[in-house]
C-alpha cells in the first residue's frame, strides 16, 4: 500500500524568502505525483505534476518540484514567497497501475509574513 | 465556463435523514471522484468513476453510495448520515487517462447533528 507524508502541518515564511514544502511517498513503484493548492474557502487546483520525463517540473505561480526516486521525494519550492502564496498545499500520489485512486497527504498550511 | 458544480454548498441535517449531494461537470470528462476533507487528514477518496455505470471504492467508502447514470453527473448519497460524516466534501473530474489533472468543485460543507 502506498502512503504520502508531508513534513510540517504549518510553515511560516517571510515575504521574499524561499518556500520549501516537503513530500515523501512510499510505494514499490514510483507513482504519478501531484501538488495541489487550496486557497481559503475554495476547491483545490493543480500547481504541478510529474508523470514521466524530466524530473524537475515547473508549475504555475513560480513553483517547481523535483522528483527524486532514490529519496522517494517530491518537494515543492518557490524562490521568493509572495503574500498571495498563503494557502494550504497538498501533495498527492496516484499509482500507475491503478490511476483512478488518488491519495493525498495531510496538507501544509503556509503563512506568509510581511 | 468549464467547471464542476456541487449542490448544496452548505447543509445541516440530523442523524439518519437521507441526503444527496449533487455533482455536475460540463467538460465532458470521463472520470469523476468524491473526497472528504477533515483537519489533519487531508483529502480522502470516497468513490470514483472511470465512466458511466463504472464506479469503484476509494479509501473511505463506508456509509456512502454513488451512481453514474450519465457522464456529467455523479451524486453522492448518504442513506443514513451519522455525526462522523460531518466534513467538507469535494467532487472532482478529469478527462480520464493516467496522470491526468483533476478539476475540483467548490466543496459542500455538511454537518450531521
Question: Cell 502506498 appears where?
Answer: A2
DSSP letter, residue A13: E
Supply the pLDDT for residue A1.
66
Grid cell locating B61: 467508502
Q: CA of B79, closest CA in chain A: separation in Å? A: 24
Partner-chain contact B59 A32, CB within 8 Å: no
Residue with cell 532514490: A70
The verdict on B62 touching A (C-beta cutoff 8 Å) is: no
The model's pLDDT over A27-46, given as tens digits with 9 standing for 90+, comes to: 888 889 999 999 988 889 99
Q: Determine the Cα angle at A109 with ends A107 and A112, to 5°.
A: 150
Inform me whether the pLDDT recorded for B33 exceeds 70.
Answer: yes
Closest residue of chain B to A92, computed from CA coordinates: B43
CB count within 10 Å of CB A52 equals: 11
Q: What is the pLDDT of residue A30?
A: 84
**Which chain A residues are within 8 Å of B66, Cβ to Cβ?**
none
Which of B4, B58, B104 minimises the CB distance to A101? B58
Distance CA A11, CA A89 (A): 10
Full strand arrangement of the beta sheet holding A64-68: A3-7, A19-26, A73-78, A64-68, A56-58
Residue A62 has pLDDT above 80, yes or no: yes
Per-residue pLDDT tens for B37-69?
Answer: 999 899 999 999 999 999 999 999 999 999 999
List the single best residue of A3, A30, A102, A105 to mutate versus B (max B Cβ within 10 A): A102
A-B C-beta contacts closer than 8 Å: 63
Cβ separation B31–A105 shorter than 8 A: no
pLDDT of B98 > 80? The answer is: no
pLDDT for residue A9: 93
Q: Which residue of A has its CA nearest to B107?
A: A43
Q: How is residue A3 written as a grid cell?
A: 502512503
The Cα–Cα gap between B34 and B90 comes to 6
**3-class state of residue A83 by DSSP:** helix
CB neighbours of B1 closer than 8 A, spacing ≥ 6?
A: none
pLDDT of residue B70: 96
Amino acid at each position: 500500500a502506498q502512503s504520502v507524508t508531508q513534513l510540517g502541518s504549518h510553515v511560516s515564511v517571510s515575504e521574499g524568502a524561499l518556500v520549501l514544502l516537503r513530500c515523501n511517498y512510499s510505494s514499490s513503484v514510483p507513482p504519478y505525483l501531484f501538488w495541489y493548492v487550496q486557497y481559503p474557502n475554495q476547491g483545490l487546483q493543480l500547481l504541478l505534476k510529474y508523470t514521466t520525463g524530466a524530473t524537475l517540473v515547473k508549475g504555475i505561480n513560480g513553483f517547481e518540484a523535483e522528483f527524486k526516486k532514490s529519496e522517494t521525494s517530491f518537494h515543492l519550492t518557490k524562490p521568493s514567497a509572495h503574500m498571495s502564496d498563503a494557502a494550504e498545499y497538498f501533495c498527492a500520489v496516484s499509482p500507475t497501475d491503478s490511476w483512478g485512486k488518488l491519495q493525498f497527504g495531510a496538507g501544509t498550511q503556509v503563512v506568509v509574513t510581511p | 465556463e468549464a467547471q464542476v458544480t456541487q449542490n448544496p454548498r452548505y447543509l445541516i441535517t440530523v442523524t439518519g435523514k437521507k441526503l444527496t449531494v449533487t455533482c455536475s461537470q460540463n467538460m465532458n470528462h470521463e472520470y469523476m471522484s468524491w473526497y472528504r476533507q477533515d483537519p489533519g487528514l487531508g483529502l480522502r477518496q470516497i468513490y470514483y468513476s472511470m465512466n458511466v455505470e463504472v464506479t469503484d471504492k476509494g479509501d473511505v467508502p463506508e456509509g456512502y453510495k454513488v451512481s453514474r447514470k450519465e457522464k456529467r453527473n455523479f451524486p453522492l448519497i448518504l442513506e443514513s448520515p451519522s455525526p462522523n460524516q460531518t466534513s467538507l466534501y469535494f467532487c472532482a473530474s478529469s478527462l480520464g487517462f493516467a496522470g491526468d489533472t483533476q478539476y475540483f468543485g467548490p466543496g459542500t460543507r455538511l454537518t450531521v447533528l
